[in-house]
Amino acid sequence: MDVSTLLDGLNDKQREAVAAPQSSMLVLAGAGSGKTRVLTHRIAWLMQVEQQSPYSILAVTFTNKAAAEMRERVEKVAGSNMGRMWIGTFHGLAHRLLRTHFQDAGLPQSFQIIDSDDQLRLLKRILKSLNLDEKQYPPRQAAGYINAKKDQGLRPKHIDAGGFPIEQNLLKIYQIYQESCDRAGLVDFAEILLRAHELWLNKPHLLAHYQDRFKHILVDEFQDTNAIQYAWIRVLAGNTANVMIVGDDDQSIYGWRGAQVENLHRFLKDFPSASTIRLEQNYRSTGNILKASNELIANNPDRMGKELWTDDKDGEPISLYCAFNEMDEARFIVGRINDWQDKGGALSDCAILYRSNAQSRVLEEALLHKGLAYRIYGGLRFFERQEIKDAMGYLRLINNKDDDAAFERVVNTPPRGIGDRTLDILRSTARQQDLTLWQACLRLLEEKVLAGRAANAVRGFMDLIVTLRQETEEQPLYRMADTVIQASGLKAMYEAEKGEKAHARIENLEELVTAARTFEMPEELEDMGELNAFLSHAALEAGEGQADAFSDAVQLMTLHSAKGLEFPMVFMAGVEEGIFPSKMALEEGDRLDEERRLCYVGMTRAMQKLYITYAESRRIYGREDYARPSRFIKEIPAEFVEEIRLKAQVSVPMANSRFSNQSNARSAAGNDTGFNVGQRVRHPKFGDGKVTNFEGSGAQARVQVSFSDFGSKWLMVAYARLEAC
């Protein structure tokens, strides 16, 4: 591809960034202005025009999916061999570094990555061994503490807990947790980054090598980097590399995970020669969507300030739907998607975004009812599923007997008569004698501390692992997976369980064999062995999830995982106070701005059509709540919004379906709600009001009440606890 083609399809500002002389640069711009496009073209430019070798380029993106897309896009534009370019996420790249230099990083060659589940399990064990009450020290809180410290680059020895007993205990937990991870050759997600950073600091010859190599460092979604990620880039860049960062302070949505939007300012200070380029034209969304998003985000203080305009038509207004409840909301959304499909639209053009994962269940149910294919990003993905993690646990233990997290996971799955008491003895021995659980088993059997049935059960388990290891040694990966699933008893366990869920679990286990069969060994990891590479691949994929194999499906995801993506039609569901902004954000006032940025991210994913929906009452997290529309809805000027109300289409719970389309228009035969139009009523939450309308009958009877303080609402008589007054 020649130079002019590289600059085709770019506006002046974008060209300026892509074709800039080699130097450091900040591209600061709002959503959909082409930041990612600029980054991709810049890489191609460096290779084609500046004749830079792919070997000298390091590009960091936020998700594995984005990294794969970028690789593909650069390949399309540049067309050359990119095998030696490093493109990936911070975690992916740091992991690669640790694999290559495991000895310098102080890790065993077979080190394994543990996810947050494994981490919690390990922490529970440690709390118990320290006789600390889980209620006073919830494992999640301990994990949060440890991860936050690691994200700040802090080891226990750097922390002064002062005279605060709780902090002192948390520090002790961190210390012991780290010791057990080190003993067992385990690294958690935060550890990957921390170790990679320490590698720079402790091994100057390695740092010098990579500084010499990476002359160009490019980072997308820079606003969401945390302290350790920034430090890693900063050190690697040294005084010579050209660093191009692209980002948008208005889209910083990971503050709760330690991301620091101040890194944008820090960058300008640390790289004083860096120029700043602002892109102001949005190419993604229609005028209405863009203007509404701009108005919303204008409510935030302390912005770096950006203008965003579009050449596009205003397009349709944003549609706002007020649903009776969460089922009505789901039915509405699915109905619209169905219409879209009937008109020839692709399902994959539709995305449903929500604030919390729990919201997906009802939406999934409605989609299933309509028979529409869907796919969840970032939810419970294949490698996160219980049965898959069990099978992976066996594979991990075969790979490394000292992997304590895997040991804990599978020692009694399926149950093999190793009781809690035996496990407690194992854990405390391991802890006291500085052993891994496997080593503790050996010691206790040797010393005959374990005897009788307990000893037999433990011996049986160890024999199983040793035999599996021998049997599978020469097998290809997929045979190995198959052997493990069968011989471990996992498959038999689910077969005995019967039922649909167990059936799905068996299908998943079978799919694991396919996953192993189709696993492609990344070139750069060739040295580490196929099993080891597969285990790492699974651990890195689990948190994020790749699309399922089928192609056309509605996309469901949390607002967080929608970052950087775009879809012709977007639904934002559950836009209610207490859900979005979340209850937690409401309680801690300073998080509201971040919720608003998340809303901005959500709205700006939409290209042609945006729906915002909320429900008057919602069953979620096992409770039923009456909700008020989110403040964010009120912050969008009315001129960009049209309200949709489908009073006659109430969803009727039926014996066999909660999503029937049968409408329940107002019964002409009369009113059996127990209330009359005009009657004064009192509601425990909304206070006094007047009945203005009614519909439905029996369990589905509803009344519309005009409340003095809360406006008009439709309420289910059966749930609403309305009193006549």
Give binding residues for ATP as ranges.
29-36
Of the candidate residues 32, 564, 574, 578, the single one contacting Mg ion (CB under 5 A): 564
**Rounded CA separation 635/612 (Å):** 13
Q: Which stretch binds ligand ATP (CB under 6 A): 35-43, 292-300, 504-512, 516-524?
A: 35-43
- Which residues, 210 to 269, sit near ligand ATP by CB under 6 A? 248, 251
Q: 561-590: which residues touch ligand ATP (CB under 6 A)?
A: 564, 566
For the question of residue 558 being annotated catalytic, the response is no
| β-bridge mates for residue 572, sequence order | 353, 612
Structural Rg of the chain based on CA atoms:
28
For the question of residue 546 being annotated catalytic, the response is no
CB 36 to Mg ion: min, Å: 3
Pairing of strands 242-247, 216-219: parallel
Task: Find the part of the chain contacting ligand ATP (CB under 6 A) among 32-40, 58-66, 198-206, 428-436.
Answer: 32-40
* 518: alpha, beta or left? (left if phi > 0; alpha if psi -120 to 50): alpha
Does residue 10 interact with ligand ATP by CB under 6 A?
yes
The footprint of ligand ATP on residues 393-422 (CB under 6 A) is: none
CB of 106 to ligand ATP, least distance (A): 37
602 belongs to the binding site for ligand ATP (CB under 6 A): no
User: Given 63, 211, 225, 251, which residue is catalytic?
Assistant: 251
For residues 500, 502, 505, 509, the Cα torsion angle rounded to the nearest 10 degrees is -130
Q: Check if 221 is active-site.
A: yes
Q: How many residues does the chain have?
A: 725
Residue (248 or 695) nearer to ligand ATP, CB: 248
Question: Smaller CB distance to ligand ATP: residue 134 or 566?
Answer: 566
Name the binder of 34 from ligand ATP, Mg ion, none, CB < 5-8 A by kind: ligand ATP
Q: Is 467 a catalytic residue?
A: no
Calpha distance 586→570 (Å, rounded)? 25
**Cβ neighbours of 147 (radius 10 Å):** 20
CB 36 within 8 A of CB 565: no
Identify the CA nearest to 314 among candidates 295, 297, 294, 291. Answer: 291
- The two tokens of residue 253 are 């949505």
Minimal distance, residue 562 CB to ligand ATP, in Å: 9
Q: Is the CB of residue 597 less than 8 Å from the CB of residue 252?
A: yes
**Total Cβ atoms within 10 A of residue 319:** 17
Interface residues for Mg ion in 26-55 (CB under 5 A)?
35-36
State yes or no: is 36 an active-site residue: yes
Q: Which of 24, 36, 61, 180 binds ligand ATP (CB under 6 A)?
A: 36
H/E run at residue 464: helix 452-472
Asked if 401 is an active-site residue, the reply is no
**What residue number has its CB nearest to ligand ATP?**
34
Q: Which residue has the tokens 């529309």?
A: 629
Q: For residue 170, what are its two tokens? A: 């948390």
- Give the number of residues in contact with Mg ion, rule: CB under 5 A: 3
- Identified catalytic residue from 149, 597, 605, 609: 605
One DSSP character per residue, 281-297 reads: B--SS-HHHHHHHHHHH
- Quick one: which segment of 9-17, 167-175, 343-351, 493-501 binds ligand ATP (CB under 6 A)? 9-17
**Interface characters, 282-301, with ligand ATP (x: CB under 6 A):** -xx-----------------
Distant-in-sequence, close-in-space partners of 639: CB < 8 Å, separation ≥ 6: none
Alpha-carbon distance 251 to 598, whole Å?
A: 7
Alpha carbons within 13 angstroms on the beta-carbon side of residue 581 total 20
Residue 31 binds which entry of ligand ATP, Mg ion, none, with Cβ cut-offs from 5 to 8 Å by kind?
A: ligand ATP
Do the beta carbons of residue 210 and residue 201 sit within 8 Å?
no
- Kindly tell me which of 195 and 596 has the beta carbon lying closer to ligand ATP: 596
CB of 245 to Mg ion, least distance (A): 12
Residue number of the CB closest to Mg ion reads 36
Separation of alpha carbons 57 and 83, rounded Å: 11
Of 118, 151, 221, 544, the catalytic one is: 221
The site for ligand ATP (CB under 6 A) is made up of: 9-11, 14, 29, 31-37, 248, 251, 283-284, 564, 566
Question: Would you please indicate which residues are annotated as catalytic (active-site) residues?
Answer: 35-36, 220-221, 251, 605
The site for Mg ion (CB under 5 A) is made up of: 35-36, 564
